């Protein structure tokens, strides 16, 4: 964690002194220039944007100048910032530039002979890379916290890092899950019916504590060695694709960890959002949209630090902005990703987000990006979605957002009493706000995530309500996301408790007496829940009316909520939720305009076929997902 004294060291004077010290030998003489890092570590020919920025870091590099002679590559310029240990090189790759190594020479000014030479690799893109299909409405996402999901023994000894202790009894410690464990469970994930995997961040988080969660990066271009290697991450993506699974990477643009390697030598004082003393964001997300917001409130929201241990990045700094854009593109191309999830989306600089999202979509027009805007207000979430005509002219290129409003409405709709505009009416009313979105179908709705209490616990461990929730998520016009362990009824406190929410998946670790993967040792309720979700998701894979159909819903009456999905040429789907603690007879005449010629409804949960005549008999607290036929 950063103390106030540490913070003061990262002010303009502190950064300059730190950089000077790092470029000198112990005796005070300037260190001989040396190249320690090049980022991005390689690039690809044939990208839509021909320009490429290289960040070179090492003692005294700013005293050198770059020279280049390579077919199809032009040196446009080089920039030096406050630290004497960085050199930023801007290249332009011609349309006919060929893959291979180019040599960048670093000279002392006026010297003919190079002092250092950098062989830099330009690769060919994988076939079809630019037109890769991102995740969309046909998909169902499985969110995992890799440290808590599964472990397979690595081939190498654990690396020497600040936190290596593994203690599964401590909710805040590392528990030892890794990429090898996740790769070994790909068949399970695919068999459950999921089509996309979203792991929480896997890049290096070399902090002294709480490093398992991944949201405090210390190296943007390195998979944390306790999880595995860059090559293992790429292998995970490739093996997932073989099983029909896409891989979504969780990328943090807003902040880094306070042990990021930059913190010992900031490229420039304005690399971070600096304050005279520690200033935390006030989390007032509405300030971007509020026409009455005080400028100081907007600044504190976007420039305030998330926590003392998460320095806030200043995306208005031009070299940093380009760095973050290229870093995101590098992982997409390197690993063959199907999408990006962006943490703390709106906390970053607003204009940078517009530029970042536009560049990603220019390179990959069919990619999907989902941003986290943790707000229960549809208008706030809608502001950030591609295609939204905003009151202030702001233009985003991000296709999707996390649907927190519908998540909250789902909880309220199922937990609260059905009185007035409460209970299930809240779910109906929130969905009715889809008119504020440019494309509500592209939103990601979720039953829970790594920051929210477990759904089963919030619903009072009520299987009937859980069935309603999961059925709704699989039928509504959204991209559904489920949290690992929900299928085996993992629980948590009803108040936020991150360590316990992110509990170990049973069977993912040696010695576990219960194995949720195979089903060994599961209780009857756990087995029932797992089977329920598997049937729903595997049915959903082929339910084209659910993927792309028009949604029609009816205002809830007497604790019953009914909605339809219709697509020409496909079987319509009818969802019926009866929250009443008694059986009900549903008069079908009300739905005649949507039922049309349908006379039978096969319940995908039970397999039972219901005649759709005058009425439909509903057991107490029941859910039906009906495929309709004449």
Q: Counting beta carbons within 10 angstroms of the beta carbon of residue 413, is it exposed (0 to 12), middle (13 to 18) or buried (19 or more)?
A: buried
Residue 417, both tokens: 């009493």
Q: Is 593 a catalytic residue?
A: no
Distance CA 357, CA 388 (A): 14
Q: Counting beta carbons within 10 angstroms of the beta carbon of residue 197, is it exposed (0 to 12), middle (13 to 18) or buried (19 or more)?
A: buried
Distance CA 311, CA 216 (A): 9
Residue listed under structure tokens 């993506």: 237
| Residues in Cβ contact with 242 at an 8 Å cutoff, skipping those fewer than 6 apart | none
Omega of the bond leading into 137 within 30 degrees of 0 (cis): no
Q: Spot the catalytic one: 147, 219, 343, 349.
A: 343
Q: By the 8 A CB rule, do 81 and 88 touch?
A: yes
Q: Is 421 a catalytic residue?
A: no
Q: Spot the catalytic one: 139, 250, 312, 372.
A: 372
Distance CA 549, CA 533 (A): 21
How many C-beta atoms lie closer than 10 Å to residue 47's C-beta? 20
SS3 content of the chain, % helix, strand, coil (to 5): 30, 25, 45
What DSSP line would sit under 401-413, residue for residue?
EB-HHHHHHHHHH
How many C-beta atoms lie closer than 10 Å to residue 549's C-beta? 22
Torsion of CA 186, 187, 192, 197, to 10 degrees: 20
Q: Of 502, 489, 486, which Cα lies nearest the Cα of 537?
A: 486
Distance CA 220, CA 251 (A): 9
Give me the long-range contacts of 552-558 (CB less than 8 A, separation at least 24): 552/594, 553/428, 553/431, 554/590, 554/591, 555/425, 555/428, 556/418, 556/423, 556/424, 556/425, 556/428, 558/584
Distance CA 209, CA 260 (A): 14
Distance of CA 619 to the CA centre of its chain: 39
How many C-beta atoms lie closer than 10 Å to residue 145's C-beta? 25
Q: By the 8 A CB rule, do 594 and 622 touch?
A: no
HEC sequence for 212-256: HHCCCCCEEEEECCCCCCHHHHHHHHHHHHHCCCEEEEEEECCEC
- Please list the alpha-helical segments (H only) found in 394-523: 404-415, 424-432, 455-458, 463-475, 498-501
**Strand pairing category for 73-79 and 86-93:** antiparallel
Residue 195, both tokens: 């089509």
- Please list the alpha-helical segments (H only) found in 265-340: 295-303, 318-335
Catalytic (active-site) positions: 343, 372
């Amino acid at each position: 964690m950063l103390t106030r004294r540490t913070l003061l060291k990262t002010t303009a004077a502190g950064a300059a002194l730190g950089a000077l010290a790092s470029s000198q030998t112990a005796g005070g003489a300037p260190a001989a220039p040396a190249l320690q890092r090049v980022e991005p570590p390689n690039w690809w020919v044939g990208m839509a944007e021909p320009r490429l920025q290289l960040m070179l870091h090492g003692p005294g590099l700013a005293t050198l100048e770059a020279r280049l002679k390579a077919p199809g590559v032009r040196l446009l310029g080089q920039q030096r910032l406050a630290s004497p240990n960085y050199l930023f090189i801007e290249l332009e790759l011609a349309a006919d530039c060929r893959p291979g190594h180019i040599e960048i020479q670093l000279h002392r000014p006026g010297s003919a002979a190079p002092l250092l030479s950098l062989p830099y690799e330009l690769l060919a893109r994988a076939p079809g890379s630019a037109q890769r299909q991102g995740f969309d409405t046909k998909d169902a996402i499985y969110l995992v916290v890799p440290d808590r999901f599964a472990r397979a023994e690595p081939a190498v000894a654990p690396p020497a890092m600040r936190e290596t202790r593994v203690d599964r009894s401590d909710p805040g410690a590392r528990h030892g899950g890794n990429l090898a464990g996740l790769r070994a469970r790909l068949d399970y994930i695919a068999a459950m019916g999921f089509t996309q995997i979203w792991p929480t961040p896997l890049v290096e988080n070399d902090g002294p504590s709480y490093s398992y969660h991944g949201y405090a990066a210390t190296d943007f271009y390195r998979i944390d060695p306790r999880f595995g290697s860059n090559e293992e991450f790429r292998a995970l993506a490739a093996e997932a694709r073989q099983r029909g699974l896409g891989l979504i990477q969780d990328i943090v643009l807003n902040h880094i960890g306070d042990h990021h390697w930059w913190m010992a030598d900031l490229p420039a004082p304005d690399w971070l959002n600096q304050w005279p003393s520690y200033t935390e964001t006030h989390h007032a997300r509405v300030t971007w949209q509020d026409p009455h917001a005080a400028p100081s409130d907007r600044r504190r929201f976007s420039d305030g630090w998330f926590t003392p241990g998460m320095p806030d990045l200043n995306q208005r700094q031009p070299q940093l902005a380009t760095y973050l854009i290229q870093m995101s593109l590098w992982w997409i191309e390197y690993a063959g990703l199907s999408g990006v999830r962006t943490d703390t989306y709106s906390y970053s600089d607003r204009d940078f987000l517009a530029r970042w999202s536009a560049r990603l979509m220019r390179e990959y027009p069919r990619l999907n990006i989902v941003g986290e805007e943790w707000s229960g207000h549809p208008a706030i979430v809608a502001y950030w979605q591609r295609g939204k005509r905003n009151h202030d002219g702001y233009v985003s290129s991000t296709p999707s957002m996390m649907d927190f409003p519908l998540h909250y409405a789902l909880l309220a709709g199922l937990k609260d009493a059905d009185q007035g505009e409460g209970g299930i009416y809240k779910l109906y009313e929130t969905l009715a706000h889809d008119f504020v979105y440019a494309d509500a179908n592209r939103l990601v709705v979720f039953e829970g995530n790594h920051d929210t209490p477990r759904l089963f616990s919030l619903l009072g461990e009520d299987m009937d309500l859980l069935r309603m929730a999961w059925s709704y998520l699989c039928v509504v016009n959204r991209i559904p996301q489920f949290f690992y362990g929900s299928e085996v009824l993992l629980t948590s406190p009803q108040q936020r408790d991150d360590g316990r929410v992110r509990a170990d998946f049973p069977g993912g670790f040696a010695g576990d007496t219960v194995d949720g993967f195979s089903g060994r040792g599961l209780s009857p309720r756990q087995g029932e829940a797992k089977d329920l979700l598997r049937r729903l998701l595997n049915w959903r894979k082929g339910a084209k009316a659910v993927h792309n159909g028009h949604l029609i819903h009816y205002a809830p009456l007497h604790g019953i909520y009914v909605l339809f999905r219709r697509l020409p040429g496909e079987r319509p789907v009818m969802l019926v939720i009866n929250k009443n603690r008694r059986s009900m007879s549903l008069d079908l005449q009300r739905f005649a305009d949507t039922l049309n010629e349908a006379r039978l409804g096969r319940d995908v949960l039970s397999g039972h076929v219901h005649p759709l005549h005058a009425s439909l008999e509903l057991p107490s607290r029941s859910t039906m997902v009906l495929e309709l036929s004449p």
